[in-house]
Structure formats: C-alpha cells, structure tokens
Amino acid sequence: MYYGGRGRGRGGGRGRGRGGGASSYPNRRASQSLQADDGGDTFVLEPKSKWARVGIRPADVRVEEVGSYSMYGDLDHWESLEPRRDRSLMRMMSLDCTGQQTTPVDFNLDKGYSAEALDGVLFKQQLPVMMKWAILNAEDPKLVAVKEEVDIVSTCTLLADLMQGLYEYSPENMVFGAARVNGKVVVGSLIRPDIHGITQGGNAARFGMGSQDHAKFWGRRFEVYMSADNGAGDAEGLNDKVAAPRFRTVLHTKLRDLNLLLAAGVDAANPFVDVPYPQKYVDFVTAGIQNFGEGKENRLYGGHMLRWWSNNVLNGTGTLHAGVHDNGLVLRVKTFRIDELPPIVQAKEASTRRQYWSAEVCLGFVHALLKFVLTKVVQPHDRVLYEFTCPKEVGAFTCREVPPSTVGHDYLQGDVEDFLA
C-alpha cells in the first residue's frame, strides 16, 4: 500500500477525477513512493489513481449501529449536554418520497433568515459528546463487543472532508489532529480561528462564512420542512427550530482491516420504509436549480454528488433528499439512494468523456491515510498530541508532535481516562 508517490499536489483544474488530472500546485518534486511497513514520514496525495489500487469498493464497507443518543442541554457548551440513550430527539421524515424521484413543493428556505438565526446551525463538538456517551455506557453489550477491535475513533464529517479535499478545485492547506487514548487513535478537527473543518487559511466561505451563511441556513430550514409536524422534539420546542440536529448515531464501520468507531449527525429517520438502522436514516441537502442546467455538470456531478456520497458512505445512511431551489424557493425534492450516486457519476463520465471522482479512489485514500496516522500516533495523549498538515504547495501530509497543552485539540476534552478502557 502506498503512503506516497511521485506527484504534485492534490490536483487542480476542472474535470480531474479518477486519474488525477492536472495539478494546481507549483511544480515541486514530491517524495518517492513509500511502502506502509517502511514507516515513511510523508504521505503524498498524487496521483489519485493509485488509491483505486488499494481495492476497496463501496460494497466492501460494513456499517453497524452501536448506539445512539439524544443531546439535551446547550449546544454552545458541550460539557452541559446530556447524551441520553434514546431516540426522543430524532426527527422523523414527514414527506413521503418513497417510489418518487421528484416531489413537488413550494417552500421558502429564506424565511426567518438573520445573523442571529445562524447561532447553533453548526455543531463542532461531536467527538467530546460521543466519548462522554461511551464512558456513560461502557457496559453496553454492543459497545463492549466492538471496543477491543476499534483502531480509529473519529467522525463521519471529518473523513468525508478528507475525501472531498482530495478533489478540491481550489485547495487550501488541510490539517487535523490526533491523539492516542487507551490504545485507540482519536482523530479530530482542530478548533482554531484560521481553521474551518480540516481547512486552514485560504477561502473560508465554503465553511459557513460570508455568502455561504445562506446555504447553511437553507440546509437547516429544509431539514425542518422535511420533518415538520411529526411530534418529535415538540416537548423541547426543537422540531421547528433551525438548528443542528440533536440526535446522533454511533457506528462501527469496517473499512477492510480497519475498525472505525464513528459519530454521525442524523437529519431524520424515514418511517415509510421497512429497513433497519442505520439504513433508515436520511440526509437532507439543498442545491440550486442552476446546478442542474446545461453546462453545469461539473457542479452537480463533480461537486454536489461527491459531497452527498462521501458524507454518508461511512455511516450507512440509506437515502438522500435534495431540495432543488431557485434562490431559496424549493421547487421540488429529488431522492437518491446513497449507493446509486457513484454509478450515476460513472454514467455521466461515460457520456461526457469527463472525469469527476471515483468512490474507489476516495475509499482507498482515506484507508491509506488512516493507516499512515496509525503508524505516527504512538505516544499516549497525556504525553504527546499530533498534528497532520498537508500544505497546498506540497500536496503531502506530514506529522508533527506537539505538547498536550497545545491549543485547538478540542476534540479531546473532559475526563477521557475511562474512554473504551
């Protein structure tokens, strides 16, 4: 398995995809290929095509729900949250889209938009709450059954961001943190003013700032619309609130030989289908109608569908419902199964002779990167923390050790000594 390869950058320019395409990085020689057992110090991203050779397909991913919880308390202060082991705050989808590709609607996503309404739209403390939940439920049979197998603890959001970062058209620096807790490697986002998700510096607009404020608000308001009037959360007045969902699922995801314990937010569950969790969960997204027009294939197939698929492939979500809107006015809802998104993109690639992205590349990349992380994160968290950085001008991840007091490692908060102990 590759840790690196001769190449430059993460790739740039429109139309790159499976094979890599032209790079947006300066001409700079990357390190030679390194084998996994060599313990190399550099993880080179290009050429992307090498990650397909890892040989992991979407059908190879195995996902099982270990548990779930509803978060009561103040979302702005994670330590006040009480993760109750129930589905009391799980939204239920109220609009029946079964058997339909489009559902006609007429709904204004912009109603109620204001700067104040953005408070609580994003929730950045998934890992501390999930770890708190795991400590409180340490004797749960499902958790006990998998805890010895777990290699990596993280969130579906972070791993999806990494897969998207491999194909990003205007890449900035990528960065994330890691620590070893009771033999498990915890991988989380760093919380610092210049970091948004896994991105450091550059254009922060796509992470909920500036013009993207509307997009974040619209997405949450669409969730409210799709799950309105079903009674879930009414006692707390939460069901009509434009805010991050308060229900979370905990998943044991097998990525070939890697065992991942992942936290994931849940938009809602679908009561109209007879399938088990987590396939019963649904994802709600929005997309402007202009993205479905002639000449906009790169936005839809290369951008939106990559995000839709990568955000859900590791958490086992069954379906996605996209609110197609015209400047905030939802015109219809399009429904996709998560597992049909890669074939849809492949068919479009064949008809247009363009390359967008490959599921096999994404999964092989994240598998190899996590393997690289496991070789580097060796000291316990009370001695050393780790930061992985991929500068855009280099196109390769490197690791550095930092003191436990280093600011930004907020994914590792509270008393974690008993986590999966």
25 inside domain:
no
3-state DSSP assignment of residue 190: coil
Tell me whether strands 247-255 and 62-72 are parallel, antiparallel or unpaired.
Answer: antiparallel
Reported as a single tens digit per residue, the pLDDT across 145-186 is: 999 999 999 999 999 999 999 997 555 799 999 999 999 999
Reported as a single tens digit per residue, the pLDDT across 308-348 is: 999 999 999 999 999 999 989 999 999 999 999 999 999 99
Which runs of consecutive H residues, i.e. helices, occur in 78-125? Answer: none
6 inside domain:
no
Q: How far apart are CA 341 and CA 304, in angstroms?
A: 10
Average pLDDT, the chain: 85
How high is the pLDDT of residue 200?
86
413 inside domain:
no
163 inside domain:
yes
347 inside domain:
yes
Query: Could you give the number of structural domains in the chain?
Result: 1
156 inside domain:
yes
302 inside domain:
yes
Structure tokens at 108: 């204004």
Q: For 196-200, what is the mean pLDDT?
A: 88
Share of the chain above pLDDT 70, in %: 84
Looking at 224-238, 239-253, 371-385, which range is the least confident one? 224-238
Is pLDDT above 50 for 204?
no
Looking at 110-114, 128-132, 135-139, which range is the least confident one? 110-114
More confident residue, 25 or 224: 224
411 inside domain:
no
Q: Do 18 and 48 meet the contact criterion of CB atoms below 8 Å apart?
A: yes
DSSP notation for 233-249: TGGGT-TT--S--SEEE
pTM above 0.85, yes or no: yes
Structural domain that includes position 173? 36-402
Reported as a single tens digit per residue, the pLDDT across 253-262 is: 999 999 999 9
Q: For 236-245, what is the mean pLDDT?
A: 64
Q: How far apart are CA 281 and CA 278, in angstroms?
A: 6
Reported as a single tens digit per residue, the pLDDT across 41-70 is: 899 999 999 999 999 999 999 999 999 999
Q: How far apart are CA 274 and CA 125, in angstroms?
A: 32
Is pLDDT above 70 for 377?
yes
How high is the pLDDT of residue 104?
73
Banded pLDDT at 98 (limits 50, 70, 90): confident
